[in-house]
Amino acid sequence: MDISGKKVLVFGSGISGEAASCLLLNEGAQVILYDGNDKLKKEEIIEKIKGEAEDAAADRLTVVLGAFPEQLLDEISLTVMSPGVPTDLPVVDKMRERKIPVWGEIELAYVYGKGDVLAITGTNGKTTTTALLGEIMKNYKESVFVVGNIGNPYTSIVKETREDSVIVAEMSSFQLETVYTFSPKVSAILNITPDHLNRHHTMKAYIEAKEHITENQTRDEVCVLNYEDEVLRKFGEKTSARVLYFSSQRKLNQGVYLEGSTIICDIGERIPVCDVKELQILGVHNYENAMAAVAMAYAYGAPMDVIRKTLKEFAGVEHRIEFVAKKNGVVFYNDSKGTNPDAAIRGIRAMDRPTVLIGGGYDKDSSYDEWINAFDGRVKKFVLLGATKEKIAECARRNGFTDIVMADSFEEAFEKCVEYAKPGDAVLLSPACASWGMFKNYEERGDKFKELVKQL
């Protein structure tokens, strides 16, 4: 699509919106960057984009804040949605009625970028798998970019890509709602459990958004799926891509699986990869993440010696069951990225000692019963805070867990944990909820936890 000289609306002024605006400006478009928050400062947004865009490009930028001026619908040729903006807003429906293309930031980057894309989605494990696969690719190829939901907008690196580049991309369901021609060389869906139902409204819509990652793949391209996820096992029978499975529970005829404690890659030939005891990342869920990365890397052509060496060196990602420190005989783990019950279940199952758990936060319409039942004698005290604390406490009591303490602030929750944790115990921040309302994002929440630990 030639956008030179055309008016393009960028909907949402976060980091994705700013990066998309820069790319569009550099491609010659006239950009209207819109955000419904009228408390933002136009001058600050413009200055930030001017600092990133080519010299003359920023003269073609307009910033609009507050109520959406519907006359813009008569002027624009394309809309680029930031992932945080719902796609079912009435004004977006009007764009579709007028046949105005509505792209996501990912689609924009894919259309104007170069190189091969290896894309990962799933409810949990995306960031760890993306980071690990990114490290494997960096040890294999010269030009590698790790982008997407991991915190680095895809559009921000487009002008640096070349034909031999590899882009390792973490894809959220929000981002996958608005892709049309996007087609990764290798994709993966790690697992699907309920999440973001406040945005997608139904589980069916959420699943469909995740499955959209393979929409344009052919039999020449590969999709890696979790055999132990019933939804994905069924999806593997209908996707157009060539399917490779991974499994932590059984031997597969073809794919990557655990045999005892050894990861086996059986794609064309049977190759022992490594013993999970050699990995620095904890828990079965992380073995699954490792197997998904192995399958993707090997399917793309990475040599097994590179894959094996990187696996053993990989220390995990920040905010995901991250060891913080041992203070006064108590170990502290930061699992702030556990923003939904299924992720938090993985966090608690990785604990091997009595645990004081911090939970609660923003309400994403999740159900917490399975999380509570996963405590299974590991949790000695449950400290709750945030908008969901009463809802989670009621769920816990209903499931027979009553060692609950309420806190009104994050600092108070931490103080309670220190009070109840004894030498030999763990304190785990794994909230099963988003951080919004108390923090800007899960990273800020995790950083606050680590700061408090270091002050002890």
Query: pTM for this one?
Result: 0.78
Judged by phi (left if over 0) then psi (alpha if -120 to 50, else beta), residue 197 lies in alpha
C-alpha to C-alpha distance for 344 and 320, rounded to whole angstroms: 10
Q: What is the pLDDT averaged over residues 146-155?
A: 88
- Residue 108: which residues within 8 A CB-CB, separation 6 or more? 20, 23, 24, 80, 155
Residue from 175, 116, 109 nearest 297 by CA:
116
Using DSSP's 3-state secondary structure scheme, residue 248 falls into: coil
C-alpha to C-alpha distance for 422 and 121, rounded to whole angstroms: 39
Q: What is the pLDDT of residues 346-370, one digit of tens each?
A: 899 889 899 999 999 998 889 999 9
Tokens of 410: 């994050």
Q: What is the pLDDT of residues 245-259, one digit of tens each?
A: 999 999 999 999 999
Confidence grade of residue 149 (pLDDT, cut at 50, 70, 90) = confident
C-alpha to C-alpha distance for 180 and 161, rounded to whole angstroms: 21
Number of C-beta neighbours around residue 425 at 10 A? 19
pLDDT beyond 80 at 87: yes
Q: What is the pLDDT averaged over residues 31-45?
A: 92
- Residue 256: which residues within 8 A CB-CB, separation 6 or more? 244, 245, 246, 247, 263, 264, 265, 266, 267, 273, 291, 292, 294, 295, 298
Q: What is the pLDDT of residues 272-327, one digit of tens each?
A: 999 999 998 878 889 999 999 999 999 999 999 999 999 999 988 889 888 899 99
Element (H, E) at 273: strand 270-275
Number of C-beta neighbours around residue 125 at 10 A? 27
pLDDT beyond 80 at 58: no
Residue from 90, 79, 2 nearest 34 by CA:
79
Cβ pair 259, 251 in contact under 8 A: yes
pLDDT beyond 90 at 134: yes
